[in-house]
């Protein structure tokens, strides 16, 4: 006995089916890409053979990157967190691999203070390369510092900086993302107002002499509870070199607390 012929789908049901055929891949593909980027460390190459970027990665993954790319410096934008397991593992891996760790505490929901802008410029100028920059997710804080690093290179264009704020790196220009990319927007606006083109020299001039943060920023705080920069390295004799730099308006209690909690990684 033959089955009765199937009734054709109604127009609304055909529309729904066709919509699903379009929407499901449109949703699943970006989600799959984002998941892969996140689980693989959101890695990227800012300057070939010289500067790389990532999210917070495992100690085994970090050790592999240090060995593969001969990394000399790890720039941790999450700041020193000696009471956190992830920080202890990262620091131990960095030092055991012969690299230097530089901790700079940034917050993706705060504009850089002028002191932080100068600290980043100083760090990018003096760090030993090849180097790796990272924050927690490798999208916002890392995007800003990677953009500055790229723009400090001869021959760079403003677009080279904006390319570091890319969906490829899971960046979205909303909330914290809007704050981080806003620094580049302000630089671009300053160039336009001054009838200038981007050059590394002009970026330095803007960061050192013309940049002022929007709100909120740490400049609005009565005192700064975070060091502006911590550098930790192992000397050839095996001893630990630990250098903390603090703001003039540092909160006295936190300075004392950090002094008591200096890392003792062997």
Range with lowest mean pLDDT among 96-100, 146-150, 252-256: 252-256
Which among 150, 171, 169, 177 has a CA at the least distance from the CA of 161? 150
Q: Do you know the residue count of the chain?
A: 266
Q: φ and ψ at 10, to 5 degrees?
A: -65, 165
- Token reading at 196: 């200038």
Q: Among positive and negative, which fits the CA dihedral 200, 202, 207, 208?
A: positive
26 band by pLDDT with thresholds 50, 70 and 90: very low
List pLDDT tens digits, range 111-167. 999 999 999 999 999 999 999 999 999 999 999 999 999 999 999 999 999 999 999
Per-residue pLDDT at 28: 34
Residue 266: pLDDT over 80: no
36 band by pLDDT with thresholds 50, 70 and 90: very low
Residue 104: pLDDT over 60: yes
Element (H, E) at 51: strand 51-54
260 band by pLDDT with thresholds 50, 70 and 90: low
Per-residue pLDDT at 22: 54
CA Rg value for the chain:
23
Query: Cα separation of 18 and 263, whole Å?
Result: 59
List pLDDT tens digits, range 204-253. 999 999 999 999 999 999 999 999 999 999 998 889 999 999 999 999 86
Residue 27: pLDDT over 50: no
């Amino acid at each position: 006995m033959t089955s009765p012929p199937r009734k054709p789908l109604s127009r609304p049901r055909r529309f729904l089916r066709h919509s699903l055929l379009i929407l499901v891949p449109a949703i699943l593909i970006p989600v799959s890409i984002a998941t892969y980027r996140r689980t693989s460390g959101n890695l990227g190459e800012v300057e070939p053979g010289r500067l790389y970027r990532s999210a917070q990665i495992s100690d085994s993954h970090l050790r592999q990157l240090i060995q593969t790319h001969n990394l000399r410096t790890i720039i941790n934008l999450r700041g020193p967190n000696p009471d956190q397991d992830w920080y202890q593992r990262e620091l131990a891996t960095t030092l055991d691999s012969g690299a230097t760790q530089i901790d700079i505490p940034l917050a993706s929901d705060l504009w850089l203070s002028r002191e932080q802008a100068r600290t980043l410029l100083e760090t990018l100028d003096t760090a030993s390369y090849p180097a790796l920059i990272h924050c927690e997710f490798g999208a916002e804080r890392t995007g800003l510092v990677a953009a500055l690093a790229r723009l400090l290179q001869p021959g760079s264009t403003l677009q080279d900086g904006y390319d570091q704020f890319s969906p490829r790196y899971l960046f979205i220009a909303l909330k914290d993302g809007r704050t981080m990319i806003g620094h580049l927007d302000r630089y671009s606006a300053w160039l336009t107002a001054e009838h200038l083109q981007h050059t590394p020299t002009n970026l330095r001039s803007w960061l050192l002499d013309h940049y002022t943060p929007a709100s909120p920023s740490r400049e609005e705080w009565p005192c700064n509870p975070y060091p502006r920069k911590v550098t930790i390295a192992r000397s050839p004799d095996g001893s630990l070199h630990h250098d903390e730099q603090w703001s003039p308006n540092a909160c006295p209690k936190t300075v004392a607390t950090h002094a008591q909690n200096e890392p003792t990684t062997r």
